[in-house]
Structure 1
Amino acid sequence: MSDNPGTKQRIREAAFRALSEHGYADLTIKDIGEELGQNPSIIYHYFDSKDELLLSMLDDFVEIFVGRRLEQPVTDAKAELRAFVDQILHPSAAQIEAAMHAPPTDIETAVARVFVELWAHATWDDAFREETTRVDGRMRDALAYVIEGGIENGEFRPVDVELTATHVHFLVKQGLHTRSTTNWDDAAERAQHLIDGIVADISVND
């Protein structure tokens, strides 16, 4: 069978939806096939295993949350930093549909669950840890890019860019994790409130 990029992407999308439903431990290729609406054997024409498929799916995280942000000029650093955080903690249907043709119905819950499942599995799997490290790095780089742009255009005070980006990044990750693993329904809002405090603290006119 020829390598059809469209089919590979539909498989990754099905894996995303199935993972958000079943969790890593209970997820099977059959579950993904059912979500895809096709015989699960087709998956093995494109991916050797469940893990290879899920590792490939991490590219969708990068596309959804980082995309071409590092190529765009920073014109309003405060607004862009807050928007970047908001799109991770509160992803919109339009945002997910830009990378997926058929996203889950409850997008916020699905993204938080998939994030926690993949990053938790990285605790035990070196291949996953390498990929989650790469994704984390891209997200932190995007935050640092906006913060540095804000310093250059006079919106932000001259701060330690890497340290500030890491601080914001850790809060975003904690918001996702807490939202998915506790009954704190306002975990994302708490994380955003703390990040808003950082933005205010480094802003020249706030």
Structure 2
Amino acid sequence: MSGHPETEQRIREAAFRALVEYGYADLSIKDIGEELGQNPSLIYHYFDSKDDLLLSMLDVFVDIFVDGQAEREFDDPEAALRAFVGQILHPEPEQGEQIMAGPPVVTETATSRLFVELWGHATWDSEFREKTTSVEERLRATIARQIRAGIERDQFRQVDPELTADHILFLVKQGIHTHTTTNRDDAIDRTETLVDEILEDISRET
């Protein structure tokens, strides 16, 4: 495969837009080529297959949202944790544009569809399952680290950081899934309320 990062990124952007429009099952390299405005054969110079392209896109996606937080020092761990959960549930347009220039729908809806489509495909595909497992481990590790920092700074009570991170991540995933697959327009707001209740419960100020 050739190594031209700008072209690879343009292909990922086109793939994201096409995935949001067609879904995984109906998505083809031809669809991505049409979205890109190029002959589909160009894509094979950079990616071996549709799955190779989508897995690469998922790597970029999680890099944007985790954004080096695993190495960060937190002046206010509780605020950092709330902001991290908030950016997953309500991604900013500039975050979406790093994956899909000229988003076809609002960023929140597009990224939710990406999550549901690729996690759903992981049900049958072991390679995707390895990738989604890795993504979740990175998200969970970031949340757990923020909780540990909050305990060290006496913002949070002594709780199990990993178990609490699992609880929060489970709620976030379920909220995104419900938001995308049902008519529950309040799914994201309800998720934020439930996460707030967890943080209030472990807060030293409670």
TM-score range, shorter chain: over 0.9
- C-alpha distance after superposition, 1:130-174 (max 9, x if no partner): 000000100001100111110111101110000000000000000
Corresponding residue SS for 1:117: helix
2:20, 2:100 → 1: CA distance? 16
Name the counterpart of 1:22. Answer: 22
Q: Normalising to structure 2: TM-score of the pair?
A: 0.95
Name the counterpart of 2:172. Answer: 172
Name the counterpart of 2:95. Answer: 95
Number of residue pairs aligned between Structure 1 and Structure 2? 205
The aligned amino acid for 1:10 is R
Matches within 5 A, 1:41-190: 41-97=41-97, 99-100=98-99, 102-104=101-103, 105-190=105-190
Cα shift at 1:103: 4.8
Cα shift at 1:38: 1.3
Between the aligned residues of both structures, percent identity stands at 63
Question: Contact conserved, 1:171 with 1:191, CA < 8 A, in 2?
Answer: yes
Question: Contact conserved, 2:61 with 2:99, CA < 8 A, in 1?
Answer: no
- C-alpha distance after superposition, 1:89-110 (max 9, x if no partner): 110112333x336151411110
What RMSD in Å do the two structures reach over aligned CA positions? 1.3
1:161, 1:117 → 2: CA distance? 29
The aligned amino acid for 2:120 is A
Cα shift at 1:85: 0.7
Corresponding residue SS for 1:114: helix
Question: Contact conserved, 1:55 with 1:128, CA < 8 A, in 2?
Answer: yes
1:171, 1:68 → 2: CA distance? 23
Structure 1 stretches of 5 or more lacking a match?
none
1:95, 1:52 → 2: CA distance? 22
Moved over 3 A (4+): none
> Residues 120 and 17 of structure 1: is their aligned pair in 2 closer, same or farther, counting only changes over 3 Å?
same
1:61, 1:151 → 2: CA distance? 29
Q: Normalising to structure 1: TM-score of the pair?
A: 0.95
Structure 2 stretches of 5 or more lacking a match?
none
1:124, 1:69 → 2: CA distance? 31
> Residues 95 and 66 of structure 1: is their aligned pair in 2 closer, same or farther, counting only changes over 3 Å?
same
